[in-house]
Structure 1
Amino acid sequence: MDGFRGEFIIEDPDGYAYDYDEEVIMPVADWFYKLLPELSTDFLNRYNPTGAEPIPQNVLMNNTRNVTWNVKPDTTYLMRIINEGGFVAQYLYMDDHDFEVVAVDGIYVEKNVTSMIYITPGQRVDALIHTKNQTDTNYAFMQAMDTEMLDVIPDDLVLNGTNWIVYDQDADLPEQYYVDTFDDYLNDFYLKPLSHTPLYEDPDHIITVTVIMDNLNDGINYAFFDDKTFIAPVVPVLSTVLTSGDMANERKIYGTNTNVYILQPGEIVEIIVNNNDTGKHPFHLHGHTFQLIERGDTIPDEFLPQNYSPNDSYVPPEFPSIRDTFNMHGQSYMRLRFKADNPGVWFFHCHVDWHLLQGLAIVFVEDPFAIQEFQSDLSDSWYDNCATGNVSTEGNAAGNMDFYDLTGENVQVKNLPTGFTAKGYCALVFSCVAGVLGIAAIGIYGMADIPNIEQRVLLDLGGLESDSLLENSEGEDEETGSSDSPVKRQNTSNETSNDIEPKK
């Protein structure tokens, strides 16, 4: 996120599946003025209890702003679009030009023409763009943040970027191009792979997890799969695989907070992700592409999350969309399916870097005995880097050679207490005592005998002469010997209260 990044293009040895004239690599990203160490310290902080993500200041295209893409007329460009950002997804759209999407995340798809692309962090889209014949006009090439991912929108936030498709360098550059809605972007769920790979058969291994954002006892907001937030082990998972021998299939040795799942060779694995968070999450799997067989719609914040139900009637696509990063909607769910045919230690995580920092990750240890057989010869530089970082390279998650002994492992902070703490009990007692004393004081003063209460009330209401009223109210009426109503004792003289010195 601080800019140490670049584009790494792997060419198809059989040649590209579609014809084009020229290739353009077009990275996009969000950009923060502050560096990650400072931002992450403020983010993972008890004074940010809701887990509000830092807001980027603007968006970049080709690692800068105000890009001019000089094009030739009547030319087909292959544009490789890569979202290298750390947080927000972006909408991309052009004035009077279309994208012809032909690949996503390295998977060829049947051509799909669209006027707008939605691309999340970690996703890659290949699109053909055919230029016009005339060269007298330049066009705006727009990018815009998905503001639904932002908790707040500061007044000075630059929400979009205006770039240009330039046919004539001497012609004027147009103003930004406006659209009526962002709802018309290409839905990648319906992209059909060019290979026509059919839906994988029923899964051998179903993993169901629920995304939760919550606070632990240090006041920091963490991200969880179920009740576990990922905490890096003392010994890297790969090192534990390589040094555990026959115990490599034992899930326990990988630690309490690494969220490890053991996959056996050739298994069809289905991941069901229920999102109990209101935010969007682009989930990415290392080492594999997967089929998206079902994805629920966005559920508005005012409703309860909609989790996956196997009892609901649903017919998956015959040829599901395939990629390695799929976006999941807020308070919704999705189902992914892949084949465990690539031995290794693979992350499955949210590609929003803030959420990964919060711990939104699980680890697949796929065919651990094959890993021991084929990946045991790690380079010297790997071990040198671990030594430099004071990272142990053998033992279980805690660095113990007794692999069932997890003493000293890295674990998450304790949960918030479910009841009152000692301080809470003290505060409750003192609050109750103060409340009782307050009520008692009100009762004592409220029931006290206040002399001449009626007269004093009327005096406060106005229109009564204070000297006559108080003088006549000291006892019974002299003529009748009775205590008449205060109205009968009202002073009816023309004297005003300014002419009478009140009694003390």
Structure 2
Amino acid sequence: MNLLYVLCLAQATFAATITYNWDITWVEANPDGKLRRPVIGINGQWPCPTIQANLGDTIVVNVVNLLGNETTGIHFHGQRQQGTNTMDGPSGVNQCAIPPGDSFTYNFTAYPAGSFWYHSHNKGQYPDGFRGPLIIHDPNDPYLGTYQEDLTLMISDWFWTQMPDLLGLYLNPANNAGIEPAPNSTLVNDSENIKFAITPGKTYRLRIINVSNMASNYVQLIDHEMTVIAVDSVNVEPATTESIYIATAQRYDVLFTAKSTASQNYFFISSLDQTMYGGVFDITIPNAYGYLVYNPLLPLPAVYEPTIFNPIDDFSLIPYDKEPILGPVSQTITINMIFENDAYDINRLTYVAPIVPSLYTVLSAPASDVLNPAIYGVGSNPFVVQYNEIVEVVINNFDTGSHPWHMHGHQFQVIYRGAANTPMWDGTQRLSQVPVRRDVIFVNTNSSTVWRFQANNPGVFLIHCHIDFHVEAGLTATLIEAPNRLQGALTVPADHLAVCRHDGTATVGNAAGNSQNFLNLTDRWSPHRQVNSLEPGRG
């Protein structure tokens, strides 16, 4: 992977700089035609725009927070951020939250190529609309000559109530069963009944991106076979299927070939998996439909929900480069996920944001302490790994629900995934020898999933369930990867430090804000603390 990144940088001589200037604003929208409500948009528009770039391009996003009543920040989901860990986006981890009225610049190299998305990593904002596609094109993509047109299909659940109110209901102690609010509808491209103009005989690449708060969806193009060619931007050997099952934050790239004649039009469906929800609920619009329009003069077909979906098993997919299983394992990270005492936790701890963002702790810590997980605070669920280690991550899901788990900064090898309600991982299970790679994997109910990666991207990266209710409830861990290699090699931009000053967030010290003794976290819960800074002459 490092070699690929070096080659990517070598191409930068011919690369472009793609610049976006974004004012983050409130916008009124009614995507399902049922209820108009405020959403978070860009430059007064919603849906949010698509970012398009080529592999190796520099992407610059100049952000001004004009929301007025909320801080914000952007994560570019799936981008590796090699050497640009300050640009990964989660507030309290890689940056301070951007206060209302402040500006902030993200600047990073487009790498890797594939289908991605961007979204706020703050306060449940992306289910309120702050999300959009991010497409990185590769001139050497092995499938480039097999299709003639590129389409994007973004699917999501949708709530008529804004997230602050939904989080209040979900996190209320009276909700002792931990039941998530059910959505009201399902959207395609943040709308309903969208139309794709189709030319007979043409082959299309369809990039399917799930930007839901919680919902997994079945997607099927009626009477059209799909060929999966990539998952989470990793090219795979072609695999045909009639439908896919796509969890929150996952992406599938598929090819489909149009019929030879324009004698009729067809529909496609995105059907919400209602088995994910507990309690009593009534989803008004559980299915979203769109149309493959061969002839606009012909009527659109009547829609229906198939009696059964037969999705491909993503664990069975084979990466195009056939990378073998990594080993031997240098370190194992075990994450026991359980719902108890009316809350989700990891190894019996719920994530609590540190006073100093974790990356800033790395950059300001004494070299003698930087590899010590204690300085990052037990509440951040920190796991420290050293450079180039082969790391195995074991997710044991003791919950009665399934969860999509995501790791920033890497595409990991999924070496084992247990079926629902099977024995937990004990190291004796059969492993995939040429494992599929993803950055989001669906972990089944009462079972384990195991992945591996090589720690060759120094940085601070989150490992978390991508159900946004669960993120806000603290179902998150922190990967501190080769922190000793970050010191002296990474500089925090001045505008990033400026938002910290305006937000009153310290940028020097351990998780408790202690910059004198990094091993002393006794002030972790103190509401009164000195604001330090990484800027020269301050702190």
SS at match of 2:135: coil
Partner residue, 1:400: 514
Q: Which amino acid aligns with 2:346?
A: F
Partner residue, 2:264: 137
Please give the per-residue CA displacement for 1:204-227, whole angstroms capped at 9, x wherever unaligned: 101112111122xxxxx3211111
Partner residue, 1:194: 320
Q: Which has the higher strand share?
A: 2
Matching of residue 160 in structure 1 with residue 281 in structure 2: no
Partner residue, 1:378: 492
CA–CA distance in structure 2, aligned partners of residues 134 and 190 of structure 1: 34
Matching of residue 296 in structure 1 with residue 405 in structure 2: no
Instruction: Give matches, 1:422-441, under 5 Å.
Output: none
CA–CA distance in structure 1, aligned partners of residues 520 and 327 of structure 2: 39
Q: State whether residues 140 and 177 of structure 1, in contact with CA within 8 Å, keep that contact through their aligned partners in structure 2.
A: no
Instruction: Give matches, 1:38-117, under 5 Å.
Output: 38-117=165-244
CA–CA distance in structure 1, aligned partners of residues 135 and 210 of structure 2: 14
Larger Rg belongs to: 1
Instruction: Give matches, 1:47-446, under 5 Å.
Output: 47-152=174-279, 154-155=281-282, 157-182=284-309, 184-215=310-341, 221-246=342-367, 247-299=369-421, 306-310=423-427, 312=428, 314-375=429-490, 377-401=491-515, 402-410=517-525
Q: Which has the higher helix share?
A: 1
Please give the per-residue CA displacement for 1:115-172, whole angstroms capped at 9, x wherever unaligned: 0111111111111111001112111201101111111453453211122111111212
Q: State whether residues 233 and 410 of structure 1, in contact with CA within 8 Å, keep that contact through their aligned partners in structure 2.
A: no
CA–CA distance in structure 2, aligned partners of residues 390 and 13 of structure 1: 45
Q: State whether residues 231 and 410 of structure 1, in contact with CA within 8 Å, keep that contact through their aligned partners in structure 2.
A: no
SS at match of 1:122: coil
Q: State whether residues 95 and 177 of structure 1, in contact with CA within 8 Å, keep that contact through their aligned partners in structure 2.
A: no
Moved more, 173-182 or 45-54: 173-182
Q: Which amino acid aligns with 1:352?
A: I
Matching of residue 37 in structure 1 with residue 158 in structure 2: no
Q: Which amino acid aligns with 1:83?
A: N
SS at match of 1:248: coil
CA–CA distance in structure 1, aligned partners of residues 259 and 520 of structure 2: 68
Do the aligned partners of residues 34 and 123 (structure 1) sit closer, same or farther apart at CA in structure 2, a change above 3 Å counting? same
Do the aligned partners of residues 389 and 16 (structure 1) sit closer, same or farther apart at CA in structure 2, a change above 3 Å counting? farther
Please give the per-residue CA displacement for 1:271-320, whole angstroms capped at 9, x wherever unaligned: 11110001111111100011111111112xxxxx731122x3x3322211
Matching of residue 12 in structure 1 with residue 133 in structure 2: no
- Name the Cα RMSD after superposition: 1.4
Shift of 1:373: 2.7
TM-score (norm 2): 0.72
SS at match of 1:207: strand
Shift of 1:46: 1.1
- Where has structure 1 moved over 4 Å in runs of 4 or more? none
| Structure 2: runs of 5+ lacking an equivalent | 1-126, 527-539
Shift of 1:180: 2.6
Moved more, 241-250 or 170-179: 170-179
SS at match of 1:405: coil
Please give the per-residue CA displacement for 1:178-215, whole angstroms capped at 9, x wherever unaligned: 32323x21111011000010011121101112111122
Shift of 1:69: 1.5
CA–CA distance in structure 2, aligned partners of residues 154 and 51 of structure 1: 14
Q: Which amino acid aligns with 1:142?
A: I
Shift of 1:254: 0.7
Please give the per-residue CA displacement for 1:368-398, whole angstroms capped at 9, x wherever unaligned: 11111321x1111111121222111010001
SS at match of 1:257: helix
CA–CA distance in structure 1, aligned partners of residues 140 and 221 of structure 2: 31
Do the aligned partners of residues 65 and 152 (structure 1) sit closer, same or farther apart at CA in structure 2, a change above 3 Å counting? farther
TM-score (norm 1): 0.77
CA–CA distance in structure 1, aligned partners of residues 293 and 485 of structure 2: 53
Q: State whether residues 213 and 469 of structure 2, in contact with CA within 8 Å, keep that contact through their aligned partners in structure 1.
A: yes
Shift of 1:176: 1.7
Q: State whether residues 155 and 188 of structure 2, in contact with CA within 8 Å, keep that contact through their aligned partners in structure 1.
A: yes
Moved more, 334-343 or 165-174: 165-174
Q: Which amino acid aligns with 2:423?
A: Q
SS at match of 2:400: coil
Do the aligned partners of residues 410 and 337 (structure 1) sit closer, same or farther apart at CA in structure 2, a change above 3 Å counting? farther
Q: Which amino acid aligns with 1:256?
A: V
SS at match of 2:228: strand
| Structure 1: runs of 5+ lacking an equivalent | 216-220, 300-304, 412-504
Q: State whether residues 232 and 410 of structure 1, in contact with CA within 8 Å, keep that contact through their aligned partners in structure 2.
A: no
Please give the per-residue CA displacement for 1:401-433, whole angstroms capped at 9, x wherever unaligned: 11111122159xxxxxxxxxxxxxxxxxxxxxx
Please give the per-residue CA displacement for 1:222-257, whole angstroms capped at 9, x wherever unaligned: 211111111000011001000002111111111121
Q: Which amino acid aligns with 1:360?
A: L
Q: Which amino acid aligns with 2:323?
A: T
How many residue pairs match? The answer is: 397
Q: State whether residues 230 and 362 of structure 1, in contact with CA within 8 Å, keep that contact through their aligned partners in structure 2.
A: yes
Q: State whether residues 268 and 340 of structure 1, in contact with CA within 8 Å, keep that contact through their aligned partners in structure 2.
A: yes
Do the aligned partners of residues 149 and 234 (structure 1) sit closer, same or farther apart at CA in structure 2, a change above 3 Å counting? same
Q: State whether residues 182 and 283 of structure 2, in contact with CA within 8 Å, keep that contact through their aligned partners in structure 1.
A: no
Q: State whether residues 387 and 458 of structure 2, in contact with CA within 8 Å, keep that contact through their aligned partners in structure 1.
A: yes
CA–CA distance in structure 2, aligned partners of residues 288 and 211 of structure 1: 21
From 128, 131, 136, the equivalent of 1:2 is: 128
Q: Which amino acid aligns with 1:271?
A: V
